Amino acid sequence: MNIGALALSGWLLLGWLPSGSLVVYDPPACIDVGGSYLVEIGAEVDWGPVFAGGSMRVPVWQNNGLNFWPSQLVSTTDIGLEFGPARLGWRHTCAHPVTPYLPLVEWYDGQLAPRWDSAYDLVYLRLSSGGRR
């Protein structure tokens, strides 16, 4: 184990949502968001058994094939220890609207931007069996 070396890794995730829906409760509506996209960027640094990192993810809902609307930003922060196949960590996740003051989205006749923020903390043990983490 080489304690002196820092290892930095990062990723860019580009995703397509072939199917999916949003449920709006006021006024009641189920909105098809198939054909939408998701973008995530993240990084992690390892120093011996210690790791720390985080990511930001934004779902981008399709409007009419030409326009797309980001709805929220989901951020994560991770820190912990990794020994072989075992990873013990703490993760903070929070979600915030990208367009918090958009009361109506005309093309859906309902609310797309969530009127809430959310956050939670997770203490976890992850066991891996070979391959990439």
Per-residue pLDDT tens for 72-111? 789 999 999 999 999 999 999 998 877 644 544 444 444 4
Burial 105-117 (b: 16+ CB within 10 A, else e): beebebbbbbeee
| DSSP label of 105 | B
Query: Is residue 50 included in any domain, yes or no?
Result: yes
Query: Is residue 1 included in any domain, yes or no?
Result: no
For the residues 55-62, what does the mean pLDDT come to?
86
Its domain, for residue 104, covers 6-127
Q: How much is the pTM?
A: 0.72
Query: Is residue 133 included in any domain, yes or no?
Result: no
Query: Is residue 59 included in any domain, yes or no?
Result: yes
**pLDDT score recorded for residue 33:** 77
